[in-house]
Structure 1
Amino acid sequence: MSLLTARNATFQDLRRLLEEQQDAKIDVVAPATALRSRNAAIELSGVEPLLEESGFTLVDGLYLPTASADGDIAAKLRIPAQFLRRLRIERPDLYDSNVNGLLHGKTRRGRDGRSTVLHPSDERKFLLRMFRGQDGGDGVLRALLSDSYGLIDHLDVLLAVLDGIRQADVDVSIRSCDLTESSMRAKVFSPKVSALAPRFLDGYRNPFANPALEAERRRISTAVDHWHQGSGFEGTGSGAGDEPVVFAGFRVANSETGDGAVTLKPELLIQVCSNGLTLPALAIRKVHMGSKLEQGAVSWSLDTQRKHLSLITAQARDAVARWLSPEFLAKQVDELEQQAGAPVTEPDTTIRAIAQSLKFSDAEREGILRHFTAGGQLSAGGLAHAVTSFSQTVADADRADALDDLALKAMAACANI
């Protein structure tokens, strides 16, 4: 299992990964002049060693940027990200010259031996989030961020949310987890809070009964647990698993290297296929508030960490109590039932128009059409299901989450086509 990513992983796998990441993390603030690109890797020099419990840890060395970190470098130096990523693959020499030229400026030595500054060096300081190299190898540059970035790590957020769930005293299960280069996501539901949605699920069948589609879902998964082994859910009291049942749930997401925020949003979980229909309009987003960080090793005070995490715990507690309630679920299902019945008589034309409106790629449009056909429900509700079942086969967990956020928009758009 990669230290950087996981898809459809179990909670146990995610927690183990996050604990391994905590041990490998290095966070430092360094001046731009301490950075130099060498063969499309970032070399740090002149950075003070970190004092840890085990002794001093050297920070100087080579760190290979992730694709996400390449995006950060491009943004900070105002280089088109797609161009910089292409240079990494095709012309690492030009990658180096672009990055180094913008970081270190340019001088010209005249005939009299004096140097003239043509372009000054970058005077900023950056927060570098990294993983140390293993067995003397190169490390990983996860992000190049502002030196005012607020740090709240995935593991701390996950434990704070679990504490909020405990305080809310609601029975829940964590059905799957995702970890990307820039985010962590856990999907939670309550097996005891459910409702019938006969119109929303009228005629819908599990698209993953199709072996080819199930193979796609398994292919991108880090771990396939009992959740996807059969048609029913363990612990829900359901037998055949094909009843029109919807469960109350929510998702928690955190970014350590990207937008710097914790997000909680409600989700409706479909029993027949484990589709997750998110409600992004009701999401709660808590931005990590940062302050200017001193140069060198980064360490927040315990008091600051407690304040941030206690707020996340309180928000999770309140959100769980509200979203995992029969009243909330009944209201959401009633709204879905009213919109779901619009017929889709020309699937290819309808999905093509919606794909253009919601900016789905050609591959996404084709995949959604396959899932729509496999689901067998020729209605607006069937289209929402197709988006959320297709998303389970998408390797990029961040994009899959974005697709789930668009499912309701796709369903609503059917009425205007």
Structure 2
Amino acid sequence: MSLDSYARHLSLQDLVPLLQEQQAAKVDVVASASSIRAHDGMVELFGVTPVVDERGVTAVDGLYRPTGAADGQIADKLGIPVRYLRRLRERERLDLYDGNVNGWLHGHTDTDLPEPDDRSFLLRLFTPPQQNQPGILRALVSDRYGIIDNLDVLTAVLEGVHAAGADTEIRACDLTDSTMHAKVYSPQMSALAPKFLANYRSAFSNPDLETERRRVAGDLDRWRPIAAREGKGYALGAEPVVFAGFRFSNDETGHHAVRLTPELVVQICGNGLTIPMFAHTHRHVGERLDAGTVSWSQDTLRKKLAVITAETRDRVAEWLSPEFFAARVEELEQTAGAPVTQPDKTLDVLAKRLGFSESERTEILSHFIAGGQLTAAGVANAVTSYSQTIPDPDRANALDDLAYQAMTLA
């Protein structure tokens, strides 16, 4: 995958090869500030001990191009205003970029400037695709960062689902250079939600909106994936059915956490309404790593993954129980029917309260109109259908987490 790249609306069969490809390109190294410098807007490592692992010996000295997230972490660790550092890159003032980063890393003979930084950092890298090309700096984080990779998390969560005895399917996955998102639902756990879906038609019956959704998915045809699966096709808008499900995500480069969140999945269009107040977060903070040390022992890793598996088993057993599902659908139905008579003004207020950008507010309004549902539920469905058209999976999932609140505020 390329710098700051996204892959959206993948199947599990699509996801696993990409995770394996990323895994093969990953290198993690702890390096002192004295062995890091900026050069032409890239990060150069020098004098760093090569990494020795099951793949052999990997030399890590050389140039790495930071992702946008890594630029933010560099700014944070060195106390440089992040907007300023990003503006230098955008305006191609790489001389000033280098001067700021190197000045704070290495200090200066002038006593008014800082002393050299004496810290060490964990750098998460992708090796160069070819010789004489730069690699990718995915993250510059604390040397206490707990490494648990996406492929390990995927395996641990799926083992937890199996241990819970749940009948589930992965309906869609998203992947970036740093983060994995996966959406799971139970085809056997369904209920009618007539108020939540009253008069709703899929926003993707609008060809322009469907084109946007397909554009972010590349050539993967995933339109209405649940309704079409296992003979569940039906006339558009005929059945107000929701399924029980949950999502899980793992961030390899920033928040060092696995997040599990229950959700309700709309059959007609695949909208996923997360219920963030029940979300469970597992943080994996590690011990301090010495220079050159890049991972925990396999025994330690197995124990940490076993905790994730056990937590997933317990959450899935709770969230996919008939009692939990019925309670969430009832809550949904109680809120859904509130009328929205002035959608433009309503979206203005919600944008300010929930942090929607102007372009997001405009697009959500388009999905609201296309959905034809002039209620609070229509606002939630507009947010979750619009999120499917966004290239950035992290922002798309953040919007889905705001949809329930948007419905209650509408």
TM-score interval for Structure 1 and Structure 2 normalised by the shorter chain: over 0.9
Q: Which residue number corresponds to residue 9 of structure 2?
A: 8
Letter in 2 for 1:52: D
Q: Which residue number corresponds to residue 60 of structure 1?
A: 61
Letter in 1 for 2:129: Q
The answer on whether the counterparts of 2:25 and 2:126 sit within 8 Å (CA) in structure 1 is yes
Q: Which residue number corresponds to residue 277 of structure 1?
A: 273
Q: Distance in 2 between matches of 1:271 and 1:7?
A: 19
Q: Which runs of 5+ in 1 are unaligned?
A: 109-115
Q: Which residue number corresponds to residue 100 of structure 1?
A: 102
Q: Distance in 2 between matches of 1:7 and 1:284?
A: 23
The answer on whether the counterparts of 1:152 and 1:256 sit within 8 Å (CA) in structure 2 is yes
Q: Distance in 2 between matches of 1:236 and 1:332?
A: 27
SS of alignment partner, residue 130 of structure 1: strand
Letter in 1 for 2:19: L
The answer on whether the counterparts of 2:71 and 2:86 sit within 8 Å (CA) in structure 1 is yes
Q: Distance in 1 between matches of 2:106 and 2:79?
A: 15
Letter in 1 for 2:84: F
Tell me how far 1:237 sits from its aligned partner. Answer: 3.8
Provide, for residues 126-163 of structure 1, a one-character-per-residue CA deviation record: whole Å limited to 9, x for no partner: 00000111221211000000001111111100000011
Letter in 1 for 2:193: A
Tell me how far 1:35 sits from its aligned partner. Answer: 0.4
The answer on whether the counterparts of 1:233 and 1:241 sit within 8 Å (CA) in structure 2 is no
The answer on whether the counterparts of 1:184 and 1:254 sit within 8 Å (CA) in structure 2 is yes
TM-score, normalised relative to structure 1 = 0.94
The answer on whether the counterparts of 1:72 and 1:143 sit within 8 Å (CA) in structure 2 is yes
Tell me how far 1:224 sits from its aligned partner. Answer: 2.3
Tell me how far 1:81 sits from its aligned partner. Answer: 1.2
Q: Which residue number corresponds to residue 121 of structure 1?
A: 116
The one of 296, 300, 303 equivalent to 1:304 is 300
Letter in 2 for 1:403: L
Tell me how far 1:107 sits from its aligned partner. Answer: 0.8
Give the 5 Å matches for 1:213-362. Answer: 213-222=209-218, 224-225=220-221, 227-228=222-223, 232-235=227-230, 237-240=232-235, 242=237, 243-362=239-358
Provide, for residues 150-206 of structure 1, a one-character-per-residue CA deviation record: whole Å limited to 9, x for no partner: 111111000000111111121111111111233211000011110000111110011
Could you tell me the percent identity over the aligned residues?
Answer: 57
The answer on whether the counterparts of 1:233 and 1:271 sit within 8 Å (CA) in structure 2 is no
Q: Which residue number corresponds to residue 51 of structure 1?
A: 52
Tell me how far 1:54 sits from its aligned partner. Answer: 4.6
Q: Which range moved further: 41-50 or 11-20?
A: 11-20
Work out whether 1:406 is the aligned partner of 2:408. no
Work out whether 1:172 is the aligned partner of 2:168. yes
Q: Distance in 2 between matches of 1:393 and 1:250?
A: 20
Letter in 2 for 1:299: S
Q: Distance in 1 between matches of 2:129 and 2:59?
A: 13
SS of alignment partner, residue 232 of structure 1: helix
Tell me how far 1:232 sits from its aligned partner. Answer: 2.3
Tell me how far 1:83 sits from its aligned partner. Answer: 1.3
The answer on whether the counterparts of 2:125 and 2:138 sit within 8 Å (CA) in structure 1 is yes
Q: Which range moved further: 324-333 or 264-273?
A: 324-333
The answer on whether the counterparts of 1:249 and 1:266 sit within 8 Å (CA) in structure 2 is yes
CA RMSD of aligned residues (A): 1.6
Work out whether 1:366 is the aligned partner of 2:362. yes
Letter in 2 for 1:164: G
Provide, for residues 361-399 of structure 1, a one-character-per-residue CA deviation record: whole Å limited to 9, x for no partner: 100110110000000010011111111111111111111
CA distance 1:357–1:299, change in 2 (3 Å): closer
Q: Which range moved further: 53-62 or 87-96?
A: 53-62
Work out whether 1:89 is the aligned partner of 2:90. yes
The answer on whether the counterparts of 1:168 and 1:317 sit within 8 Å (CA) in structure 2 is yes
Q: Distance in 2 between matches of 1:49 and 1:408?
A: 48
SS of alignment partner, residue 267 of structure 1: strand
Provide, for residues 86-127 of structure 1, a one-character-per-residue CA deviation record: whole Å limited to 9, x for no partner: 21232011000000000000015xxxxxxx795310000000
Letter in 2 for 1:31: S
Q: Distance in 1 between matches of 2:213 and 2:337?
A: 28
Tell me how far 1:289 sits from its aligned partner. Answer: 2.1
TM-score, normalised relative to structure 2 = 0.95
Tell me how far 1:230 sits from its aligned partner. Answer: 6.9
The one of 186, 191, 196 equivalent to 2:192 is 196
Q: Which runs of 5+ in 2 are unaligned?
A: none
Bigger Rg over Cα: 1
Q: Distance in 2 between matches of 1:397 and 1:406?
A: 14
SS of alignment partner, residue 184 of structure 1: strand
Q: Distance in 2 between matches of 1:210 and 1:382?
A: 16
Q: Distance in 1 between matches of 2:220 and 2:24?
A: 26
